[in-house]
Amino acid sequence: MSEQIVKADIVIVGGGMVGATLACALGDSHLSVILLEAGSGEYTLPDKGYELRVSAITRASQRIFETLGVWPGIESRRISPYRDMHVWDASGSGVIHFDSADIGEATLGHIIENNVITAALYERLSSFENIEVIKNCHTESISISAENASLALKNGKTIKTSLIIGADGSRSSIRQQFDISVRGWDYDHTAVVTYVKTEKDHQETAWQRFLPSGPLAFLPLPDNYSSIVWSTRPDHAKELTSMTDDTFCSALSTAFEHTLGDVIECGPRAGFPLRFFVANEYVRPRLALVGDAAHTIHPLAGQGVNLGLADVASLAEVLMAADANVIGDMNVLRRYERWRKADSMSLFIAMDSLKRLFGTEHLAVKWIRNFGMSLTNRIGPVKNHLVRSAMGMNSNPVEGRLPRLSQGLPLVDRQ
Ligand SMILES: Cc1cc2nc3c(=O)[nH]c(=O)nc-3n(C[C@H](O)[C@H](O)[C@H](O)COP(=O)(O)OP(=O)(O)OC[C@H]3O[C@@H](n4cnc5c(N)ncnc54)[C@H](O)[C@@H]3O)c2cc1C
C-alpha cells in the first residue's frame, strides 16, 4: 500500500463525549483538525427503554454545549432535568438536600444518555469544514519530534501535525505510550448500571444513598424511569447482574429503603470496575491529555465528563489565543495544564476525603460523617458553595474565572 501523507494543525485521538466536544469547539477556527475515533461513531438509542450509560450534565457543561450549538441536538432527542439532590447516609441520620431554587436556578442539571450527547456532537461536527472525522480508525504508531508529530494509521495514511490531543479514555493508549504516570487507586468496587421504573414519582430529584457497601444513586429519566448507579463490591456486583429481574427489583427496593416505593420494572444490567487517578502530567511537547485520559473519577460525584468538558473549554481557549505555528509549544500548553491541574488537585483531595469518610464503619468516623452532613445542610453559604461547585460554576484560583465556554461566551469575541 503506498503511503499517503496528510497534514493537520491538530489531531484529536478519541471521539467520545470529550474528544468530539473539543473538535466542535475548534470548529470554524483558523486551525485544521482531524478527529480519530476507533469505534463506528454510530450513536443510536435503544428501541425500547433507555441507554445504560447516562451522565449528570451540570449547568456549566450545558452552557458549553449551548455555546457550541450542540444543545438543540441534545434537547430535541431526550433529556431529563433534575431540580433537587437528596443525599443521605444509610448508617446514621446525616442528610444533605440541595434545591435549585435556593441558588436561583431553574435546574441543577440534566440526566442525559451518553449516546444522545455523542449523536448531537457528531451531527454538529458535520457542519464544520475545518474538521475531518475518521471513524473505525486504528493507529499503528505515533512519534513526536522537535519539528512535528506523526501518526501512522493502519489504513496506510500518515498524518503530520503540530499537536496530538489524547482524548482516548481512562485506558488511554496515548498516555501509556508516552509513559505518563498516574496517581490514584482502584476502589475494588464495581458500578452496576441499569434503568428502572418505580411505583412513586422521582420528583425530578437525583437521589443518592450511602450504603456500607458503597453509594446507590437513582437519577431521574423521562416518564418516571430512573437510571441506577449502584457501586458495590465486585462479588456483590456479579450477584446483582446475574439475578432474575424480580429478585433484582426487590433487592434494589430494599437497598433504597423503598424511598420511591417498589421498583416495578428494570432494564438489562452491566458492571463497570471503578478507579480513580490523575495523570502526573497533562502536557508534553506537542501532546495534551483531556477527559478520562487525564483523570478518571468515581461516578458518585457525577463529575467525570463535566471535568472533561471543562478541560475542553480551557484547552480550546488557550489554543485559540495562540498562533497555529506554536500550539505544540510547552509555554502554550502549560497554561492549560496549570489551569486544569488546580481543579484536579482539589478533586484529588475531595475524592481521598470521601474514600476515607465513607469507606469505613468505624463509630467515630460514622459520627463525624453524619454530623458533618447535617451541619453542612444547615449552613446556607457552605451548602450554596457546594452546590455551585457541583454545578461547575465556581472558578478555580489559577485564572480566577471560568473558561469562556463555561460562562456561555464564544471562544473569541465576534466583531
Ligand atoms: C457507571 C458510570 C457512571 C458515570 N456517570 C457520570 C455522570 O453522571 N456524570 C459525569 O460527568 N460522568 C459520569 N461518568 C464518567 C464519564 O462516563 C466519563 O468521564 C466520560 O465518559 C469520559 O469521556 P471521554 O470522552 O474522556 O472518554 P470515553 O468516554 O472513554 O471516550 C474515549 C473514546 O476514545 C475512543 N478511543 C479509545 N482509544 C482510541 C484510539 N487508540 N484511537 C481512536 N479512538 C480511541 C473510544 O472508542 C471512545 O469513543 C460515569 C462513569 C461511569 C463508569
Query: Which among 134, 275, 292 is the best mutation to test ligand 1's pocket, defined by most ligand atoms within 8 Å of the CB?
Result: 292
193 lines ligand 1 (CB under 6 A): yes
Residue-by-residue DSSP string for 332-379 = HHHHHHHHHHHHHHHHHHHHHHHHHHHS---HHHHHHHHHHHHHHHH-
The domain limits of the chain are 4-80+109-184+275-359+398-407
The pLDDT tens digits for 255-302 are 999 999 999 999 999 999 998 899 999 999 999 999 999 999 888 777
359: CA distance to ligand 1 center in Å?
25
Q: Report residue 170's pLDDT band, with 50, 70 and 90 as the boundaries.
A: very high
**Per-residue pLDDT tens digits for 50-70:** 999 999 999 999 999 999 999
Which CATH number does 4-80+109-184+275-359+398-407 carry? 3.50.50.60
pLDDT at position 362, please?
59
The number of the ligand 1 atom at minimal distance from the alpha carbon of 56 is 8
pLDDT at position 210: 86
Distances (CA, A) of 26 to 11, 58, 80, 158, 267: 11, 22, 28, 22, 38
Top mutation candidate among 37, 168, 187, 307 for ligand 1, by most atoms within 8 Å of CB: 168
Ligand 1 proximity of 267 Cβ (cutoff 6 Å): no
b or e along 50-79 (b: 16 or more beta carbons within 10 Å of the residue's beta carbon)?
A: bbbebbbbbbbbbbbbebbebbebbbebbb
- Residue-level pLDDT at 353: 65
Quick one: pLDDT at residue 384? 64
